[in-house]
Amino acid sequence: MFSPKYYNRYLDDHFDRQYYSARLKLKKFDTDEFQSMIIANQQHLLAFAGPQAPEPRPPCIETRNLSFHYKASQPVLKNISINVPQGRIYALLGSSGCGKTTLLRMILGMLKPKTGTIRVFGMQPGTAEIKIPGSGVGYMPQDLALFRLFSIAETFEYYGRLYGIPMETIKERTKYYIEFLNLPGKNRLITQLSGGQQRRVSLAVTLMHEPPLLILDEPTVGVDSVLRLKIWNYLEELCGKLGTTVIITTHYTEEARNSYRVGFVDSGIILAEDNPQRLLFKYNCRSLEDVFLELCLERARLPEISVHNGNNQSTQVNTGNQQHPIPQVQIIVEESDGNRQESSSSSSSSSDRSIEQIEMSQIPKDLNNNDNNNNNNMVPATLPIPPIHPNAPQSQMDNKNSTGKGTSQAWLDYGRFTALLAKNYLLYRRNPVSIILMNVIPLVQVTLFCVTFARNPENIPVAIVNFENHSLSLSNLFIDQLDQKSLLLHYYDNVDNAIGSVQNLQTYNVITFPSNFSRFFRQRFLKPEQITDEIVRQSTISLFPDTTQAVFYLYTYQKVLEALEKFLVIVGKSMGFNPNFFGSPVVLTETMYGQNNLQYLEFVTPGMIIAVVHGLSMLIGSFTIIRERFDGHLERGFVAGIRTTEILLSHIIFYLVPLFTQVVLVLFLTFYIFDSQSKGSLWEVFLMTFIMAFQGLIFGIAMSITCQSQVASLLMVFISEMPMIFTSGVLWPLESVPPLVQTLAMFNPLTLPIRSLHYIMLRGWTLMRPEVMFGMISALSYMFITLISGFVWFELFK
């Protein structure tokens, strides 16, 4: 049982934790006795905390009348005033959704208060001096916010590099934290860890740069009770030895007994803020949960309650016009250079001090917590703090100190930027989807396009009805001239059967020859003066079109005309005429641009190349920012001091190489495998295509910045890509669309670049031609405008 000797030693030894932990192991304490002992010794304590006491520690975090809402109609925080002294653990407790995380985000400078002020180390968060966000703080968010495809070591390396910690130190700390937090081997991927292990890694990377301020949002979720205690002890070590200030939220209310001060939050207000032991004592409760319940009940009884803690150090319960001050104290116990001192910092003068003003934080912990007492038997009483960088400060009371070089406030910090690039590379390498997206899909698309699209059709089934049944007939001569590679002829006895075959989808189009075609054809041309309607009818070849398959119809018609030309030359010769006698007076001369035989593919290819690379790059870009935002990496990164410029540039620069490869592959396939032709320089074709791939990436990144979800971002890509393609003239000349649409189509980011590529590939024009240059300027302009808009949006709404 607890004895006066122990209590005196408690005072004399200035709250030696090791000593009391040892006592806890032996279960020597009894709370009631201990508390009576305090009362019995109040004179001693008052004297001890008397005028000779040094000044209290300065506050690390001070908030005054802080209010915040996401929607004006739903206030989240109301008049919050808290005071977190330096070098102490402060626990924020409260029900789910009461506003704890919101408050932490405001302390981190990520949300701006609607009213009230926040001071962190006496300054406003977000200012360069305190490096918050930056290396001045370690933030463990509630979400995991780890790259699941990274190994443990890679995770440490990434965050270590962000904070500018030397590689050697990163390695040492990786080793230390793996041992300390019972993590598996350093090469294990995060995705292969249990939920609790993942959270421990998240905690470790928060601690590793030894910031002066730690903000931990539910760090012990999914962590077993032994390890929880170990973590709490470790945090105390950090506070004691490095002067780190810790602000922590937890749903394990009882573990908050280990903190120096707790703040109970409910529906956006602070119900009470005090030392946990003192709250237990004051409300005569055995657990903090009960204290919370008491406070909630009290609040229910006094609906207008408004509790102000922090700077004025007094709890006020407002009930209408009346104010009932609840006495409150804060006595800070300093531990510096191994010499512990206690001080009183109540709002009143030292003469006003009462037993309630006694600082209870240094009462041996877990007095009422049997579980923890039991656990204490299982864990070492003290834990070593991690190996500290040789140049690391002994104390972090100066908020500028932290182990890493610290993050600069520059828009582009070399260390952070290279860490981000390395991260992008690792994620790319580990993610087969991105490799497939970047390299395989464009190849498949180009292959499919070249194999299936706009090729001259072959074996079009055509029905032939030839009523002339002798082999030497002119109708047979005509049929022989038909290109039978393109047309597959099916012979029918009568027109009805032939039309039936069209109706049954066996053939497309019907060609008929009358019974006396040869005789009447000769008569028509040899005796033109005797021509009658009957002669014309009997010498006419009929084509019954099926235009539902427009390509087949146009192609069949073209083949019939070609056959007619050849047929007339042969017949003319056989009749003794000049072979050109029956020739068309319209002659096709040498082709100026393009190939001699008309190929629709030739027209479509430039647009196809741009559509493929632009669309895929846009898709890739659309994954970038949004994925990181929803996995919590962005928030964590911003708190670590990453700048929006660095994030944007790291994605843009990183993707230069995959985009380059993608464009080279697409062009190689188009020109070397599928034998497309370019009259212009391939270098200019490459340049134009690469710029458009880049533009697609920027568009995708911009969508990723502005969209609220990954699905929305993907939808944006699909929704915008289709109209862009249709109105760009890729598939059909814009001259065929209404004038207004034509004008609008000029604002389509694909239109002018596709035209430029068209001119380069089909006409052989160079970039020096204004028509080609316009496309290039248009592509670059859209790219820069989108990039700048995306950046501004990112800055404003990050």
Ligand X SMILES: Nc1ncnc2c1ncn2[C@@H]1O[C@H](COP(=O)(O)OP(=O)(O)OP(=O)(O)O)[C@@H](O)[C@H]1O
What's the min distance (Å) between Cβ of 97 and ligand X? 4
Given the complex with ligand X, which of 96 and 339 has the nearer CB atom? 96
Given the complex with ligand X, which of 134 and 141 has the nearer CB atom? 141
Given the complex with ligand X, which of 271 and 560 has the nearer CB atom? 271
User: For the chain, percent helix, then strand, then coil, each to nearest 5?
Assistant: 50, 15, 35
Q: Any contact of residue 556 with ligand X (CB under 6 A)?
A: no
Task: Tell me the residue type at 522.
Answer: R
Tell me the pairing of strands 510-513 and 542-544. Answer: antiparallel
Residue 309 neighbours by CB under 8 Å, 6+ apart: 81, 82, 83, 263, 270, 272, 273, 274, 315, 328
Q: Any contact of residue 441 with ligand X (CB under 6 A)?
A: no
Q: Any contact of residue 98 with ligand X (CB under 6 A)?
A: yes
What's the min distance (Å) between Cβ of 102 and ligand X? 3
Given the complex with ligand X, which of 94 and 364 has the nearer CB atom? 94
What's the min distance (Å) between Cβ of 269 and ligand X? 12
| Site size for ligand X (CB under 6 A) | 11
What's the min distance (Å) between Cβ of 76 and ligand X? 4
Q: Any contact of residue 70 with ligand X (CB under 6 A)?
A: yes
- Candidates 98-106, 362-370, 531-539, 702-710 — which segment interacts with ligand X by CB under 6 A? 98-106
Helix spans in 485-599 (H): 495-503, 517-526, 533-538, 550-574
Q: What angle do CA 389, 392, 398 make, to 5 degrees?
A: 155
Count CA within 13 A, CB hemisphere, residue 231: 28
Q: Any contact of residue 651 with ligand X (CB under 6 A)?
A: no
What's the min distance (Å) between Cβ of 787 and ligand X? 26
Given the complex with ligand X, which of 79 and 313 has the nearer CB atom? 79
Residue 564: CB atoms within 10 Å: 16
Tell me the pairing of strands 460-466 and 510-513. Answer: parallel
- Tell me 798's DSSP state: -
Q: Any contact of residue 83 with ligand X (CB under 6 A)?
A: no
Nearest Cα neighbor of 174 from 146, 140, 136, 200 is 200
- The site string for ligand X over 474-503 (x = CB under 6 A, - otherwise) reads ------------------------------
Given the complex with ligand X, which of 101 and 277 has the nearer CB atom? 101
As a whole number of angstroms, the distance between CA 564 and CA 264 comes to 95
Q: How far is CA 557 from CA 272, 480, 554, 563, in A?
A: 90, 16, 5, 10
As a whole number of angstroms, the distance between CA 744 and CA 734 comes to 11
What b/e sequence results for 440-458 when a residue is b if at least 16 CB atoms lie within 10 Å of its CB, and e otherwise? ebbbebbeebbeeebeeee
Cis-peptide into 133, omega within 30 deg: yes
Q: Any contact of residue 99 with ligand X (CB under 6 A)?
A: yes
What's the min distance (Å) between Cβ of 91 and ligand X? 13
Q: Which residues in the 665-694 window bind ligand X by CB under 6 A? A: none
Given the complex with ligand X, which of 740 and 796 has the nearer CB atom? 796
Given the complex with ligand X, which of 142 and 523 has the nearer CB atom? 142
- Candidates 94-102, 393-401, 587-595, 678-686 — which segment interacts with ligand X by CB under 6 A? 94-102
What's the min distance (Å) between Cβ of 98 and ligand X? 4
What's the min distance (Å) between Cβ of 94 and ligand X? 6
The binder of ligand X chosen from 61, 76, 146, 181 (CB under 6 A): 76
CB 754 within 8 A of CB 742: no
Q: Any contact of residue 262 with ligand X (CB under 6 A)?
A: no
Q: Any contact of residue 96 with ligand X (CB under 6 A)?
A: yes
What's the min distance (Å) between Cβ of 296 and ligand X? 15
- Candidates 13-21, 35-43, 97-105, 205-213 — which segment interacts with ligand X by CB under 6 A? 97-105
- Candidates 5-13, 96-104, 178-186, 767-775 — which segment interacts with ligand X by CB under 6 A? 96-104
Q: Any contact of residue 509 with ligand X (CB under 6 A)?
A: no
As a whole number of angstroms, the distance between CA 579 and CA 583 comes to 8
Q: How far is CA 478 from CA 464, 468, 560, in A?
A: 12, 12, 9
As a whole number of angstroms, the distance between CA 640 and CA 531 comes to 95
What's the min distance (Å) between Cβ of 239 and ligand X? 23
Residue 557: CB atoms within 10 Å: 13
What's the min distance (Å) between Cβ of 140 and ligand X? 13
Given the complex with ligand X, which of 198 and 424 has the nearer CB atom? 198
Given the complex with ligand X, which of 223 and 750 has the nearer CB atom? 223
Given the complex with ligand X, which of 94 and 790 has the nearer CB atom? 94
- Candidates 45-53, 90-98, 345-353, 482-490 — which segment interacts with ligand X by CB under 6 A? 90-98
As a whole number of angstroms, the distance between CA 664 and CA 620 comes to 17
What's the min distance (Å) between Cβ of 794 and ligand X? 17
What's the min distance (Å) between Cβ of 444 and ligand X? 40
CB 65 within 8 A of CB 79: yes
Q: Any contact of residue 97 with ligand X (CB under 6 A)?
A: yes
As a whole number of angstroms, the distance between CA 134 and CA 119 comes to 16
What's the min distance (Å) between Cβ of 69 and ligand X? 8
Nearest Cα neighbor of 80 from 327, 213, 268, 244 is 268
As a whole number of angstroms, the distance between CA 391 and CA 555 comes to 81
As a whole number of angstroms, the distance between CA 755 and CA 474 comes to 47
Q: Any contact of residue 450 with ligand X (CB under 6 A)?
A: no
Nearest Cα neighbor of 439 from 594, 616, 193, 588 is 616
Given the complex with ligand X, which of 247 and 667 has the nearer CB atom? 247
Given the complex with ligand X, which of 94 and 680 has the nearer CB atom? 94
What's the min distance (Å) between Cβ of 101 and ligand X? 3
Q: Any contact of residue 289 with ligand X (CB under 6 A)?
A: no
Q: How far is CA 138 from CA 8, 132, 258, 633, 773, in A?
A: 38, 9, 20, 14, 51
- Candidates 28-36, 80-88, 89-97, 631-639 — which segment interacts with ligand X by CB under 6 A? 89-97
Q: Any contact of residue 102 with ligand X (CB under 6 A)?
A: yes
The binder of ligand X chosen from 23, 57, 78, 100 (CB under 6 A): 100
Given the complex with ligand X, which of 142 and 287 has the nearer CB atom? 142
Q: Report the chain's terminal Cα–Cα distance, integer Å.
A: 57
- The 3-class SS string of 594-609 reads CCCCCCHHHHHHHHHH
Given the complex with ligand X, which of 76 and 502 has the nearer CB atom? 76
What's the min distance (Å) between Cβ of 261 and ligand X? 18
CB 145 within 8 A of CB 632: yes
CB 792 within 8 A of CB 798: no
Tell me the pairing of strands 315-319 and 245-249. Answer: unpaired
- Tell me 350's DSSP state: G
Distance of CA 493 to the CA centre of its chain: 68
> In the structure, how many helices (H) and strands (E) does the chain have?
28, 18
- Candidates 92-100, 272-280, 364-372, 686-694 — which segment interacts with ligand X by CB under 6 A? 92-100
Task: Tell me the residue type at 414.
Answer: Y
The binder of ligand X chosen from 42, 65, 142, 434 (CB under 6 A): 142
- Candidates 93-101, 417-425, 519-527, 588-596 — which segment interacts with ligand X by CB under 6 A? 93-101
- Four-residue CA torsion sign, 435, 438, 443, 449: positive
Q: Which residues in the 380-439 window bind ligand X by CB under 6 A? A: none
What's the min distance (Å) between Cβ of 70 and ligand X? 3
- Candidates 100-108, 157-165, 341-349, 392-400 — which segment interacts with ligand X by CB under 6 A? 100-108
CB 183 within 8 A of CB 175: no
Summarize as ranges the residues that interact with ligand X (CB under 6 A): 70, 76, 94, 96-102, 142
